[in-house]
Structure 1
Amino acid sequence: MPVERRPNALVHEQSPYLQQHAHNPVRWLPWTDEAFALAKEQDRPVFVSIGYATCHWCHVMEHESFEDEDVAAYLNEHFICIKVDREERPDVDAACMDVCQAMTGHGGWPLTIMMDSLRRPFFAGTYFPRESGANRIGFMDLVRRIRAVWDTERERLEHSAGEITTMLKDQAAADLRGDVPADVEDVVVDYHRRMFDDTWGGFSVRPKFPSPHHLLLLMRLARTRHDPSLIDMVRTTLDGMRSGGLFDHVGFGFHRYSTDREWLVPHFEKMLYDQAMLMWANTEAWQATGDDAYRTVVGEIAEYLRREMTSADGDFFCAQDADSEGEEGRFYTWSYDEFRSLVEDDAIVDLMSVHRDGNFHDEATGSATGLNIPHVRMSRLREEVTHTTWPAARHRLYEQRSRRIWPLTDDKVLADWNGLMIASLARAGRAFDDEGLTAMARRAYDAVVRHLGGQDGGEWSHRYRNGHRAVRSMLDDHAAVALAAFELYQTTSDRGYLDDVRLHLDTIERRFSDDGVLYMTDADVHDAIVRQKQGFDSAYPSGNSIAAYVMACYAVLTGDADIERRAIEAVRSHGSYLARMATGYCMLLCTWDLLKHGGRQLSIIGDPSDPFVIEARRIVGRSFLPHVVLNHHRDATGLPQACVMVCTHDSCLAPITSIAELRAWIEEEGV
């Protein structure tokens, strides 16, 4: 019989990740001042384990080590043990990840950090198996060695902790400002050409991450450089992701990343930010190419969100787990016989690449599992999209799969990830003239403001769950919600959204800006290891790059020279790194593309019910105009009753009064 365990302190936390560990025999504590005070009082090292609820290897390490009574007994006697949800405390995670990458050359989750009671790290790693192997120390041996060093060589260890913390602080304080290199676009294009997989798409061999912000930049550069080969790279990459097992062909939505070159075998967690950024990339790919396959992907992501990732109030949950019933991918894979029992059509079985021997090989061992991940060959992607009988078969598969034990849904609502998702929905609603997508965006925005917004002039929060809001908002939250509000303004012409954009930009300047440099947290946040500035994009764009992008767009719309100056400063604040690793700053370079080539304000003037206004909005919405910001006016003195005005910061074209003229201007703009 299973042992009945007394819960630890995490039982009182709202984070699903922390609650997963609430009944471990390890006496976990949350990241609080009290935990570090206890470490000081008891003169113990602090073991910090950082992860997230939908992380496969986090589950593995929990099962192997944190549920083990012997491991727990040793940790409880010799360490203060702290669990951190990286999604709740991205500031803590970012600092610890910097330590891990500096000490080991790599990073990932679960993140294993040892530090002293002053929050000074002295050891970092990722996943450790319980037992040592030929080439890797096991977790039990690791903690014993660390405790031995703590007891016998404390002075050396504390010196190391001091040096590491000084390195972090020096890194955070370093002045990275500089001019954007004149050849930065050439560098970016050369890199992507060199790394591009021209068979399957993407810019690495394996693992392969979606990295949609790379695709957004390439589409902009394709336009400014008149280089259709860059669009070809985007299309091959999007097609590869959508056709492979990275995409859930039965229930829709994208998994986290692919373990192989062909986008076939993913790590199966689904993250809200991936859905947001891939919706954005597919929307722009449709605008740039007119290929309805990309419009279909946007609709599929939206359907997945409605079914599985939307709260009763309309805002969005943050993730779904990779594992169910203790196995990664169990929920998403099929035996040949089960698939055939629901799909009688041989042509569909062939289309979805389902085989009697299976197509899913275990990542760690490479051995065949006998199971199938439904996917299509890239050459047949559009056949799947237009197939007449596949939707009914897919529905039967989905109904059968829904009877399985579902993976955990991490139902936290995060301000930054919701902001990205709302922005993408609003953009897609405008592009496809789809009121349903726009309504999803508006409802989610209202819920986020209600759950996380500053009440009665107070500060925003980062996380909401079960009626509880927590964690003071960070740069990423205000940047992403500002982006959402800006996209909603362009789509709906509701000036309340534009007012919200300004409020968030003012908050960013007041709380996170120091001499033009944007920091992740406030200056007075005391419980993070160091105050960081992050312009480098990870799986999704940094708060710094999103903030700069919104500033640049807002400046084009309003003509606000001070906001434009702040956008330029935000880009230049990472200028020295742009010279060394430009491809790590793709979203920031999207902003630079707008600033460098000059934004245009396109104002549609007239009654919203006027046929010219309706058609102008439709045509502009469906066009790829990355340097154009959309404005709305019911009337303007001295102008025709219904027209389009295109203005730069110092001049305007003559009013456009016919749809033919508008189409001609858009064509000349380079679409």
Structure 2
Amino acid sequence: MQLDNKPRNARPSPEHNWLIETNSPYLLQHAHQPVNWYPWTEEAFRRAKSEKKPIFLSIGYATCHWCHQMAHECFEDQEIAAYLNEHYIAIKVDREERPDIDNLYMNVCMLMNGHGGWPLSIFMTPDQVPFYAGTYYAKKTSLHMIGFHELIIQLHKLYEQDQAQVISVGAEIKQALAQLQEQQAAGTLPPAVFQMAFEQLYVTYDNLYGGFGQEMKFPMPHQLLYLLRYGKFHDEPVAQKMALNTLNSLYNGGIYDQIGFGFSRYSVDETYIVPHFEKMLYDNALLLYATAEAYQVSKDPFYEQKMRELITYIRRVMVSPEGGFYSGEDADTEQEEGKFYTWTKEEVLNSLDEELGPLYCEVFHITAEGNFEGKNVPHLIHTKLADIAAEHEMPVETLQQKLEKARQILFEVREQRTHPNKDDKILTGWNGLMIAGLAKANAVLQDEGVELLAVGAIRFLEKQLFQNGRLMRRYRNEEVREYGILDDYAAVLWAYIELYETTFSPEWLQKAVHIADEMVELFWDQEEGGFFLTGSDAEPLLIRQREMQDEAIPSGSSIAAVALVKLARLTSRADYEEKVITLLQLGARTINAHPEGYLYLLISYMMLTEGTKEVIMVGKLSEEQRQLLSSLKKDFLPNTIYLHCEDPEAYKDIIPNITDYQPAETGANFYICENYTCRQPVHDPKDIQQMLDR
């Protein structure tokens, strides 16, 4: 999908550049800069070829703090803009709208530098072949880094005076990219790979604060999902303890908004106290899912409360009037990072009365010195409510009530501040993740309002983002753009399956089968196996990419694999499972070498090796059976899959053998199946529970 490619002047008007014609919040942030930015269009590359200029490609996203920083320092600078406009064709890309472009050139940056990040800065030929890559640059050179002004001068000289070097570097990069995409010979994954992955997580686990590694900590919810399963199936309670401790620290830290709820992108310190303040939909979606599973494991009401808080945040801030979910909130307000979220002690005391003010400051570590640039990020790390309650001679429950009253007052005070900018585009894949998270939470909460929120979002996607049989990627202001990538299809498939398991409406299972078949047709490599990132109908780039490794979000291949195993067991479609086995075999060597990078994909392998139980319920549930099922949904049974056919005729198109299962005279018959073999049906709740416990 591209903008129109009619010939253009360098700039449509003195006031703005060609980004003004886009609908991307990120690109529009740069539309009034003096740089003659183009979006990614054929016209930009045609102009670069005709004028024999190199291309400067800048990739970022709307809520990126360092993208804003570089924009202020460099792209709003007249001297830099003048040089770029004379000697380069400058192109801006929103990584969230075009993850295929971002993924490709991020791999380039990693190959050239060993690290990456955003803003991503790529210098390339008019044929899209890169010859230099970097990330953030300040304007002026310092002791530690070349400045952007000096860099663009040097690279232009290189391009003009040493084409042989430019061509040589480009050829090496193209070859390296091709090697990255080469399919390895099929291998096997040993059962020990699960323990290897756990041990790699264990080595980097922070026993004091939870999480993994030191300094900057990203939530990475799929790590928690893996640990919960590993602990269950491999009798390793330490694994589940690691997951729950990490989740507790996340909720107690400043990375979680203690006043308005919702998670920030990451913590800049090991304690989870000081966050990088941007909030992203996908983090909150996956952490909601992980919180639901934490409740299933522990039955701790703390997690039920936190699920409700997260859903409150989503409903209040991230839901569009049409029912879809927005992408995120910025870290900055009025060009100051965290300004909306931080407090001086004086502000807290002035907002609360003489009792609540000092009490809140004590519990949430609000000091005169502050913990972030002279201000405070409220947090509960090291807070022991029982001890504070005892010191104040009140029950813990009373203390919690007072703190909740203080939170509500501070929330209302904070609402009067200038809010961070909201990235109000709606991305299909991230919406799929949130729908899956809400459906999972609803299995535990059994709250009709939560179900309606999830169903409203999927209805929005179906109405707006399915066009001519093709799932699209982005919606904003009634405009739909870009073909959906593998991640979009896989996330929507996951959403449909979770919706089915929480509602048992055959509609969702039918649509899961349809989207799975479309996904395989568009993205599966029919020659070598495995999934491509982009569809067979997508705009060609330097290479057609594959991506199996998990990053902040599980990869599209990983999400597809877990969903396809479930769908295979729900529908008796062996071809779905065969795709997953092929995927695991093709990735075996890489996964064996670095299993911690493929944790969500390993969940699909764990489903295959540990086996699944299919609970097929045929007929109308009795009240006792309904209560049992309600209870089962609150238990942590990740490899148990539920299928309820009140009317088997509604399923015969997607499960041809469903009519082999017969309902009971009263209530439903429960068929417990493993490895495509079913036991005799039972309908007494006690017998059902006994069979499931075997």
- How far 1:176 sits from its partner (Å)? 6.0
Q: 1:476 to 1:130 in 2, by over 3 A?
A: same
Query: C-alpha offsets along residues 115-157 of structure 1, whole Å, 9 cap, x if unaligned?
Result: 1011111111110110000121000000000000011101111
Q: Is the 1:248–1:255 contact (alpha carbons within 8 Å) kept by the matching residues of 2?
A: yes
Per the alignment, residue 379 of structure 2 pairs with 375
Q: Is 1:475 aligned with 2:475?
A: no
Q: What is the number of equivalent residue pairs in this alignment?
A: 654
The 5 A counterparts of 1:7-406 are 7-175=16-184, 177-344=186-353, 345=356, 346-360=358-372, 369-378=373-382, 380=384, 387-406=400-419
Deviates more, 1:640-649 or 1:39-48: 640-649
Tell me, in whole angstroms, the C-alpha distance in 2 between the residues paired with 1:529 and 1:351: 55
- How far 1:606 sits from its partner (Å)? 3.5
Q: Percent identity?
A: 38
Q: Is 1:579 aligned with 2:605?
A: no
Q: 1:638 to 1:325 in 2, by over 3 A?
A: closer
Q: Is the 1:615–1:659 contact (alpha carbons within 8 Å) kept by the matching residues of 2?
A: no
Structure 2 SS opposite 1:646: strand
Query: C-alpha offsets along residues 346-403 of structure 1, whole Å, 9 cap, x if unaligned?
Result: 322211111122122xxxxxxxx22010111255379699811222211111111111
Q: Is 1:485 aligned with 2:511?
A: no
- How far 1:504 sits from its partner (Å)? 1.2
Structure 2 SS opposite 1:113: strand
Query: C-alpha offsets along residues 229-287 of structure 1, whole Å, 9 cap, x if unaligned?
Result: 11110111001111011000111000000010000111100000000110011100100
Tell me, in whole angstroms, the C-alpha distance in 1 between the residues paired with 2:627 and 2:610: 27
Q: Is 1:501 aligned with 2:512?
A: yes
Structure 1, unaligned runs of 5 or more = 361-368
Tell me, in whole angstroms, the C-alpha distance in 2 between the residues paired with 1:528 and 1:14: 22
Structure 2 SS opposite 1:576: helix
Q: 1:249 to 1:145 in 2, by over 3 A?
A: same
The 5 A counterparts of 1:457-476 are 458-476=469-487
Query: C-alpha offsets along residues 457-515 of structure 1, whole Å, 9 cap, x if unaligned?
Result: x3121000000000011111111001101111111111111111111111111111013
Tell me, in whole angstroms, the C-alpha distance in 1 between the residues paired with 2:399 and 2:541: 51
Tell me, in whole angstroms, the C-alpha distance in 1 between the residues paired with 2:422 and 2:284: 15
Structure 2 SS opposite 1:534: coil
Tell me, in whole angstroms, the C-alpha distance in 1 between the residues paired with 2:398 and 2:438: 21
Q: Is the 2:672–2:691 contact (alpha carbons within 8 Å) kept by the matching residues of 1?
A: no
Tell me, in whole angstroms, the C-alpha distance in 2 between the residues paired with 1:119 and 1:176: 30
- How far 1:524 sits from its partner (Å)? 4.5
Tell me, in whole angstroms, the C-alpha distance in 1 between the residues paired with 2:542 and 2:574: 36
Q: Which residue identity lines up with residue 440 of structure 1 in the other structure?
A: L
Per the alignment, residue 611 of structure 1 pairs with 623
Q: Is the 2:619–2:664 contact (alpha carbons within 8 Å) kept by the matching residues of 1?
A: no
Q: Is 1:641 aligned with 2:666?
A: yes
Tell me, in whole angstroms, the C-alpha distance in 2 between the residues paired with 1:378 and 1:232: 18
Tell me, in whole angstroms, the C-alpha distance in 2 between the residues paired with 1:628 and 1:354: 46
Q: Is 1:559 aligned with 2:566?
A: no
Q: Is 1:659 aligned with 2:685?
A: yes
Query: C-alpha offsets along residues 327-349 of structure 1, whole Å, 9 cap, x if unaligned?
Result: 11001000111111223323222
Q: Which residue identity lines up with residue 457 of structure 2 in the other structure?
A: A
Per the alignment, residue 366 of structure 1 pairs with none
Q: Is the 2:471–2:483 contact (alpha carbons within 8 Å) kept by the matching residues of 1?
A: yes
Q: CA RMSD in A?
A: 1.7
Structure 2 SS opposite 1:548: helix
Per the alignment, residue 526 of structure 1 pairs with 539
Query: C-alpha offsets along residues 610-657 of structure 1, whole Å, 9 cap, x if unaligned?
Result: 312320221121011111111102265264532432111332234343
Deviates more, 1:557-566 or 1:464-473: 557-566
Tell me, in whole angstroms, the C-alpha distance in 1 between the residues paired with 2:351 and 2:315: 25
- How far 1:531 sits from its partner (Å)? 1.1
Structure 2, unaligned runs of 5 or more = 1-12, 387-395, 648-660
- How far 1:12 sits from its partner (Å)? 0.6
Q: Is the 1:176–1:577 contact (alpha carbons within 8 Å) kept by the matching residues of 2?
A: no
Q: 1:263 to 1:437 in 2, by over 3 A?
A: same
Q: Which residue identity lines up with residue 662 of structure 2 in the other structure?
A: T
Q: Which residue identity lines up with residue 256 of structure 1 in the other structure?
A: R
Query: C-alpha offsets along residues 418-465 of structure 1, whole Å, 9 cap, x if unaligned?
Result: 00100110111112212111111001100011110134xx31210000
Tell me, in whole angstroms, the C-alpha distance in 2 between the residues paired with 1:260 and 1:641: 59
- How far 1:8 sits from its partner (Å)? 0.2
The 5 A counterparts of 1:540-559 are 540-559=553-572
Q: Is the 1:451–1:464 contact (alpha carbons within 8 Å) kept by the matching residues of 2?
A: yes
- How far 1:69 sits from its partner (Å)? 0.3
Per the alignment, residue 9 of structure 2 pairs with none
